[in-house]
Structure 1
């Protein structure tokens, strides 16, 4: 037996163990990252305990979000619960119309891009995700699924934040 053959035989058990080692890492839940509170034109992330109102947005494979419009008063903290009633991955992202359009274009180029911003939630089929957000600036904003093709198919809605009285 040559040195090269012996080295291959020794490495073979390691090759068999590698898929298990990597798969094992997927079995544990990821630790929750600390909430990043960065002011955006449409508001700022909030702690779940601050939410006084919850809106369920149902996402379906016919590329619809229901409801597709939300009214909010400036200063309100809202829990947006994204309910994926479909069989494919969907997401919900809050932003300005221009930012969402630009991001949707980027998603076409990088469809496997993962999101971890507090104004975004990836939601697997049959699951729920949520965004807790304080809308501290008045204006008209949007929410959408930016997975390649979903935005273009009309999977989006609007948020109107009315000024404090």
Structure 2
């Protein structure tokens, strides 16, 4: 009995390590240290206690985000309130286009997977979720819906950090 319990416990502890990349825990520090997880090229998870500007993003079944382009200041914390106005499940994931394309390939293999990283939300029809992000680097970055087929159909946007 003790051996079975130990095996089960070790299996549960190892489960996050077996998850598809970008979908579960352990992605660097979330406040108080350097963030080295997904989307680190453009910033880090926002501090919930910090002042943040709210930007509403609407997703639709026309495979579009509105707005498609967002401009923010370097160092600014943004609270993205992401609303799904469609009948299909959609996502918003922040990153570089290379990261998004690579992650979309993983999603093709695991289409029902939901994100729990600080740079991404999966939003069911009629629902809203929030991404809180601090943009620490200037440049042009991206966001996209990684549900298979959505980003190639045009469901992507651009973030300009000045």
Query: So what's the TM-score if we normalise by structure 2?
Result: 0.75
Looking at CA atoms only, which structure, 1 or 2, has the larger radius of gyration?
1
Helix, strand or coil at the partner of 1:99: helix
Paired residues for 1:78-117 under 5 Å: 78-117=78-117
Helix, strand or coil at the partner of 2:102: helix
Unpaired runs of 5+ in structure 2? 1-27
Unpaired runs of 5+ in structure 1? 1-34
CA–CA separation in structure 2 for the residues paired with 1:151 and 1:51: 31
Paired residues for 1:132-143 under 5 Å: 132-143=132-143
Shift of the alpha carbon at 1:36?
4.9
Query: So what's the TM-score if we normalise by structure 1?
Result: 0.74
Show the counterpart of 1:153: 153
Instruction: Please tell me the root mean square deviation across aligned C-alpha atoms, in Å.
Output: 1.4
User: Which 4+ runs in 1 deviate beyond 3 A?
Assistant: none
Give yes or no for the alignment of 1:53 onto 2:58.
no
Shift of the alpha carbon at 1:52?
2.6
CA–CA separation in structure 1 for the residues paired with 2:47 and 2:69: 23
Helix, strand or coil at the partner of 1:133: strand
Q: 1:69-112 CA deviation, whole Å, 9 max, x = no partner?
A: 00011000000111100111111000001000111111111112
Give yes or no for the alignment of 1:131 onto 2:96.
no
Show the counterpart of 2:63: 63
Shift of the alpha carbon at 1:123?
0.5
Paired residues for 1:25-36 under 5 Å: 36=29
Q: Which has the higher helix share?
A: 1
Shift of the alpha carbon at 1:139?
1.0
Q: 1:120 to 1:95 in 2, by over 3 A?
A: same
CA–CA separation in structure 2 for the residues paired with 1:52 and 1:122: 21
